[in-house]
Structure 1
Amino acid sequence: MNVAKMIDHSLLRPELTTADVRHGCEVAARRAVASVCVRPSDVGLARAALDGTGVLVGTVAGFPHGDTLTTVKAAETRALVEAGADEIDMVLHIGRLRSGDDAYVHDDIAAVVAAAQGRVVKVILENVYLTDEQKVAGCRIAERAGAGFVKTSTGFAGGGATLADIQLMRATVSPHVEVKAAGGVRSLDTLLTLHRAGATRFGATVTEAILDDFAARERGEPPADAPSTGSGY
């Protein structure tokens, strides 16, 4: 099992300096994770830092609330692709989903998918605000609109990935659509539990602690305690 290639190393906190982002990219490259997920303004920096490493550059659109105009989300996505982004994590319009305006939500996602020009788009539902019925609706809309992933959370809304949500999302979308868990993935045990439930990618800030724990267990050492600090993204 290659745990590193399941992790999107998150560099989204608003207070991060450029030095913090560069260091995060160094960590991502050294640990050979799947990607970094950086703020839009940091895509160029991350692209330069990670070229040739095999680590993808991911970023966000309409983040963290999802309520910007569709035209703005699409324009942002085009600019991010031009800057070198490989993957786009977009927030769907949470209020419109809760309102039952499926057509708006679909067209909003589809516009970003088109603007991504073949790059993977991960659609963030922000499950903490949704009923199970709304989660199912959001997943189905995202799939119809061409998303490659459905994702639990931004990590900035007071709730994160749960086992029940991963199971529900995996059961809702077709096999070709993947599920990303974000928010509260602070330990290897959490990651492995959610992986068994169907998640294939994980947003994490405590990447090194998770990978160190995995390596220790591979050597037969006892599990480490979960980190007590860090963003839940």
Structure 2
Amino acid sequence: MNKLIDHTLLKANATKEQILTLCKEAKEYDFASVCVNSYWVPTCKEALANSDIKVCTVVGFPLGAMSSAAKAEETKIAIEQGAQEIDMVLNIGELIAGNDEVVRKDIAAVVDAADGHIVKVIFETCLLTDEQIVKACQLCVEAKAPYVKTSTGFNSAGANPRVVKLMKDTVKDQALVKAAGGVRSIDDLQEMVKAGASRIGTSSGVALMKGANTDPSSY
């Protein structure tokens, strides 16, 4: 279970001390990665040296409404500084407007800039219809993104098993699914995996490993 978890701290008020604690916990529980804002990538690279825990960072986060060129540049810099995985937010407004080619090119710009590193594309599914979620999945496959991801964790709702299943049924074996936002218990995690998730983004990784629920207000 530990290698399913991207141990996450994306709050604006996160301090270096908290980021270092995140890395220490990730090493203690042998998580898949830590997921942080890009400013903290060099700190995490240093803290996780000599371990197999990856440094994941977010791009175009949390709104997705940045230019594709800015997202690509942010991706390049993050990788130069030590990021090994990129979680990008697609252009949600253009997706809703039906501008599919704009969205596909936005994703492809980051995938190209990542130069072979894993890219997970965040949809913010709570803002989308099922049809829009399916379309987003299809565009990700066309842009050769390795992962589709449910949520930033910063909107009105996070992952739920029904949507995870919809995403997995759409991408099939052409991409993997990351469930993020609101995964706070063993039951939550197991439901997401059963629905088709291959990775879990959560700030509650330690509590999950201990088999305990966490206070939702701490998310």
- Give the alignment's TM-score, normalised by structure 2: 0.98
Correspondence for 1:218 = none
Shift of 1:176: 3.5
2:194 is matched with: 196
Shift of 1:229: 3.2
Q: Which residue of 2 aligns with 1:229?
A: 216
Within the alignment, does 1:33 sit opposite 2:40 as a pair?
Answer: no
CA gap of 1:20–1:115, structure 2 versus 1, over 3 A, is: same
State the shift of 1:230 in Å: 5.0
Amino acid in structure 2 at the alignment position of 1:135: I
Do 1:205 and 1:230's aligned partners in 2 also have CA atoms closer than 8 Å?
A: no
Letter in 2 for 1:136: V
1:35 counterpart letter in structure 2: S
1:75 aligns with 2:73: yes
Cα 1:231–1:97 change in 2 (3 A) is: farther
Mapped to 1, the partners of 2:200 and 2:172 lie a distance apart of 19
Equivalent residues of 1:182, 1:204 under 8 A apart? yes
Match of 1:149 in 2: 147
Q: Paired residue for 1:132?
A: 130
Show CA shifts across 1:4-45 (max 9, x none). Answer: 000000011111101100111000011100000011100000
- Distance, in Å, in 2 between the alignment partners of 1:228 and 1:39 is 23
- Report the identity percentage: 45
Distance (Å, rounded) in 2 between the aligned partners of 1:104 and 1:162: 27
Aligned pairs, number: 219
Deviation at 1:143, TM superposition (A): 1.0
TM-score (normalizing by structure 1)? 0.92
Give the letter aligned to residue 212 of structure 1: K
- Which protein has the larger Cα radius of gyration, Structure 1 or Structure 2? 1
Amino acid at match of 1:131: T
User: Does the Cα contact within 8 Å between 2:141 and 2:174 map onto a contact in 1?
Assistant: no
Separation in 1, partners of 2:154, 2:141: 24
Q: CA deviation at 1:231?
A: 5.2
Q: Could you tell me whether the CA contact under 8 Å between 2:137 and 2:148 is conserved in 1? A: yes
2:50: which partner in 1? 52
- Taking the aligned partners of 1:51 and 1:71, their CA distance within structure 2 comes to 30
Q: Deviations over 1:128-163 (max 9, x none)?
A: 100000000001101110111000000001110011
Query: Does the CA-based 8 Å contact 2:23-2:48 persist in structure 1?
Result: yes
Give the letter for the 1:4 counterpart: N
Unaligned runs of 5+ in 1: 214-223
- Compared CA separation, residues 79 and 231, structure 1 to 2 (3 A): farther
2:122/2:149 contact within 8 Å kept? yes
1:174 deviates by 2.9
Partner of 1:181: 179
Output the CA distance in 1 between the equivalents of 2:203 and 2:91: 25
Note the aligned Cα RMSD (angstroms): 0.9
CA distance in 2, matches of 1:231, 1:162: 19
